[in-house]
Each structure stands twice: as structure tokens, then as C-alpha cells.
Amino acid sequence: MYILGTAGHVDHGKSTLIAALTGTHPDRLKEEKAREMTIELGFASMTLPNGEEVGIIDVPGHRDFIGNMLAGIGGIDAVLFVVAADEGVSAQTREHLAILDLLEIKRGVIVLTKTDLVHDPEWLELVEMDIRELVQPTSLADAPIVAVSARTGWGIPELLEQVQQTLKGIPGRKNLGKPRLPVDRVFTLTGFGTVVTGTLLDGSFKIADEIVCLPGGKTGRIRGLQNHHHKLQKIDPGFRAAINIVNLNYQDIKRGDVIAHPGDYKPTTLLDAHFRLLKDSPYPVKHNLEVKLFLGASETTAHVRLLGSQGLKPGQDAFIQLRTNHPVVASKGDRFILRLPSPSETLGGGVILDPDPGQAYKRYHPDNLERLGKMFSGSESELLSQILENQKVTNVAALAQKSALPVEEVIQIVTAMLQDNEVLSLGKNKDIAKLTLVYPAYWQSLQQNCLESLQAFHRTYPYKAGMPREEFKTMLGLSQALFDQVVDKLVDDDLLVQKGSLVWAFGHQVVLSQEDEARVAPILAEFQANPFSPPDVNQLQTEIGPDLLEGLLSSQKLVAVSDQVLFTQDALNQMREWVQEIISTAGQLSLAQFRDHFKTSRKYASAVLEYFDLTGFTYRKGDFRALR
């Protein structure tokens, strides 16, 4: 369903026009009817000549209620820009047009209302000329003008035909699979409870979905869905929706909040954006200026950090960071408006480039300005590359969210980038959507840090075979999942070796110094003299100390078969060969047989056989061993 919005000066006949088109007067509040002006947003629907149903948002025109106007205009597909024939262009006409231009509303029909009050054809022609000159430099430059009288019905059929033609070919809303509904109304209904309304942006909601109200974070569940009084099981992007929510009270939600699936969006107080100051603005923009930010249906106070500029004069544009006083929910590509708090005037507007930059950065840093430039006007691949460079490590889902591109399109671009080595992947999953993606420059830095950390460890502890994995992870400061993938890739690239709980640099070997070789020579001679009943760990620690003992193990001069029992590799090989020969002939081997043959103690025999079990050479079957 397409959504039409109205815009124009107060008392130029917007609500009366909607009533003529739909049969429903959008003013619903007593105060609105008493004052004969729209204060809050009004909603209705109409049927086009081709039978298609269209939703209509009637927004306030009076200067005092322009904040409410902004809450509704951001979710529309096209606009009915209303100008009264008897009054012509007014100050609020110009301000509403400026806002439409800033929000890049490119589809619309200019409706010349109250023509029944004008009897001079030359006056009508003059008003049309003024309107055409007014809209020429704006996004509505090509919008047709249709003259009507809502009271007599004259011109209404022609207007409906023109609206139908204007809406033809408008692409559907992007569906990134992450629904969000900026709340423009919240109320309670007896027997139902809390109800919110808004235009669904992205994704779909269905009955029984778990939802979260952001930025507050309270959760609830969808009990019912309606679109212009039609009950639905599911609502798709671009549709007006009334959502009945259970487990959330009326007081828990306010206009400007966002209804979403848990985990899809993160409230933020810092936004990267591109901003354009209106060319006829009487107020310049200085760094750290306090403004009112209108984003979606929300309104909050913010401060403007000008990037690459000392100040903006009317008509100029710049990259900015907005630091908000209260958390907001945004997505890349969202349009926004900035107004002065006092006097209440529209300054300009623009587009969100990064809804979660993470930090404030230097205002004149060329790398930041280049990144924002590519995010603003670069190609899709340049956009993803900039996001990757900023995020360093990410995945397809996060790229789609950050770039506001469909997942399928992101996968196509990432596939090409992987082939051109513009991005690297971690993990062995063949599904690109499930891969961890790493920016190449960050990977080089991370790889260098890993290897330098290991080399430093080897220099500090020359007799240790390697660094404990957990110590390595803590040193790098990586999450467990990312650490595991980083180690796997370094192993695959022959840069690192891992065995058990240890990791070491590829090619690292423990070599004893000449002095230590002389110290251990008598010990190794004793191992040679008594290969099957050698000294145990306690004796070695007393004679040569734990560090040098670790050097003997790391250099593989000795092998530990248990915490207390060590053998030379030659002795261990002899015992293994004999065990294989006996079991192959007799089918099994007892501990006593092993002990008696090698003339050793039960302590040594038991340790060796358990070691063979542990390494998968044999297995225990009652009191006997068999080959595995």
C-alpha cells in the first residue's frame, strides 16, 4: 500500500480535501474541530480509479504544530502539496516545501484548492505561475498542478487520476528483514489494551511476534494487526499499521519510540550525517550549535559537531556528527530535519550515513572525511569497503544493516570483493552469509601483533614449548569466537602451530644452551642406563629445576607419559613396538606381562599403558589391553 501525505499552510484546505477524497474527516480531536485546524496527525484511506487502496496522512500546517507535521511526513511515498487558490503561496507553504525538499520527497501532486472562491482566471493563472517558480529548484520541480474544489467536488476525479499516475512505478520499500515502526500515535482501547500506529519501515511483523520498544528496551508481544480497519496476520514494509501490543502499558510508549524485533536495532546518541543548510536560512550554523532533531517520528535536542568546517552559511552543506541528549533509533539512509529551538525555525536537513559510529573523532581528520564522502556518494562496493574499514571485523548481516542494502545485494558485492582480496574471510563455512569478514589492513595488523606476541613470549620463556591459548587470547583482547577463527587461519597459513592447550610460532624450536646441555648430560645418561625405570619428575626438579626440565620436554629430549613419569622417545618407541607385536600375536596384553618383560615397577608400567590408551594406540578391556 502506498502512503500519501499532505503538506501546506494552515487553513489552505488539506483536511477538507482529504474528506472529499476519502469520505472521512481526519480531524479527530475536540480541540482540532473547535479550532478548525489539524494539531495531531490524521489518518484515512481512499481507493484509486484502478481499485488500489492508498493510505493518507494529514499533517498539521500551522507553524506551532510543525513538529507534528515532521512526525508524519517522513514515512510517505508521495505528497499532496496543497495551496489555496484564493491566498496563494504563504510563509508556511515555503517552509513545508523546504522540508519536503530536504526529505527528498520526489513524487507528488500540487493541489490548488478552494478554486470555487476565485472567479478571476487571471488570478488563478498568476497563482499557478508563482507555484511553478517556487517548486522549480526543489524535489517537486516536475510535480503536476491540479486545480480542485473540495466543497463542490470539481476536479476531484482528475486529481484521483493524477495521483494514480504519480504513484505508478514507485519501487517498494527495501526489506532488510529488520522491521521497525516509528510510533506516531499511542493509545488504549477498552478490551484490547495498548495500541500504537505508524508506517512500517523495512521487514515484516506478524501476530505473536516478540517486540521491543526502543530506546527504553521494554518488551511485549503483538496481539493484533490492522491496516485501515482491516485485520491482518502479517504487515509488510510501507504499510500503515495499528499494532495491539500485550505486556506493554500505554505509559511505556511515547511518540517517537520505535517498535522492532529484539536485537535488531541499537539505540544511539551519536550519528554521522550529511547536512544541508537552507539557502534562505537567516541563521548560520556554528560548531556545537544546539538544535532540535526530527528523525522518523522522534524529536530530541542535539548538538551539531561540524566536520571539516568552521561554520556553515545559507546554502552550504557539510558532514556532521549529531550528539543527542536522548537515545534515538536510526538506520543509514534515514532523512532528518534540524530546527532551532528558539526561535522555532527550520535550519535544514540531510541523511544519516552511520547510525552508530561508536565515537567522536577529530573534526578535520582527512581519513574520516574521505570515509564519510564515500558513504555519502560512493558506489555500493565503496560503501561496504568503508564500513568494513571502520568496523574491521563484521559479517554480511551487519553490513546489510549498516549500509541499508538488501542482504542478497551485499552477498553479491562481498563475493566479488573476496575474489579481488578486498576483504578476507575467517572460518570454513561455504555460506558467505555466515562468514566472518575482516578488512585486509586490520588483518595484517592483527597477524603481525599475533606473531610479535608469540616471538616475545619465546624470547622471555625460551624453554617453554608454547604460550597457553587462554593467555594468548587475553593478550590479543579478542572474543572467544573470533580468537578461535584467527588461530585457525594462522595455522592454515603456516604461521602458527597449536597442540592441545599451547600455541607457538611456526618454526619455533626449543634449543638448550651449551651450559644447560652440560648440566643435563648426566641426567640423560641415567635415562639411557635405565631406559624403563628412569628418574621421575620429583628427582629431576630437585636436580635441575622446573625451567630446565621444561626445556628437556619442549626440546623432545624427554616425553611425559604422566605428571610424574618421563621416558626418552627411544625407550617409548621400543615399548610401543613390543606391545604391538605381543597383542597382534596373542590378542591381548596384561599389565603384569608388560611389567615383567621390561623389568620395571607397576608405577612405570601403569603410566605407559594408560598413555597408550590416551593416545589411541590401545584400549583397556577388563584387566587386559587390546589394539584400538
Q: What is the pLDDT of residues 291-349, one digit of tens each?
A: 999 998 888 999 999 999 889 999 999 999 999 999 999 988 888 989 998 888 889 99
User: Is the domain defined by 2-167 classed in CATH 3.50.50.60?
Assistant: no
Residue with cell 577529530: 362
Distance of CA 565 to the CA centre of its chain: 54
At residue 118's C-alpha, the angle toward residues 112 and 119, to 5°, is 135
Instruction: Tell me the backbone φ, ψ of residue 288, rounded to 5 degrees.
Output: 70, 20
Range in 223-232, 239-248, 268-277 the model is least confident about:
223-232
Task: Please give the average per-residue pLDDT across 595-621, as a whole number.
Answer: 93
Is the four-CA dihedral 460, 464, 470, 472 of positive or negative sign?
positive
* Cα Rg of the chain, angstroms: 37
The pLDDT tens digits of the residues spanning 197-231 come to 888 888 899 999 999 999 999 999 999 888 877 78
Q: Is beta strand 145-147 parallel, antiparallel or unpaired with respect to 108-113?
A: parallel
Topology adopted by domain 516-627: Arc Repressor Mutant, subunit A (1.10.10)
Looking at residue 34, its pLDDT comes to 41
Looking at residue 77, its pLDDT comes to 83
In this structure, which amino acid lies at residue 267?
P
Q: How confident is the model at residue 65 (pLDDT cuts 50, 70, 90)?
A: very low
- pTM for the model stands at 0.70
Cβ-count burial 476-485 (b if 16+ within 10 Å, e if not): bebeeebbeb
Q: How confident is the model at residue 28 (pLDDT cuts 50, 70, 90)?
A: very low
For 441-505, give the CATH class: mainly alpha
User: Is the domain defined by 378-438 classed in CATH 2.60.40.3500?
Assistant: no
Q: Is 472 in contact with 503 (CB distance < 8 Å)?
A: yes
Q: How confident is the model at residue 42 (pLDDT cuts 50, 70, 90)?
A: low
Contacts of 368 (CB under 8 A, 6+ apart): 307, 361, 362
Looking at residue 25, its pLDDT comes to 58
User: Is the domain defined by 268-368 classed in CATH 2.40.30.10?
Assistant: yes
The CB density around residue 351, as the number of other CB atoms within 10 Å, is 18
Task: Please give the average per-residue pLDDT across 585-602, as a whole number.
Answer: 93
Topology adopted by domain 180-260: Elongation Factor Tu (Ef-tu); domain 3 (2.40.30)
* Every domain of the chain and the residues it spans: 2-167, 180-260, 268-368, 378-438, 441-505, 516-627
Mean of per-residue pLDDT scores for the chain:
87
Do 268-368 and 180-260 have the same topology in CATH?
yes
Residue 135 has pLDDT above 90, yes or no: yes
H helices of 111-178, in order, are: 121-135, 156-167
Q: How confident is the model at residue 446 (pLDDT cuts 50, 70, 90)?
A: very high
The pLDDT tens digits of the residues spanning 490-533 come to 999 999 999 888 999 998 888 888 888 888 898 899 999 999 99
* C-alpha cell, 406: 538488501
- Measured CA to CA, the distance from residue 91 to residue 257 in angstroms comes to 31
In this structure, which amino acid lies at residue 295?
L
Task: Please give the average per-residue pLDDT across 19-39, as a whole number.
Answer: 51
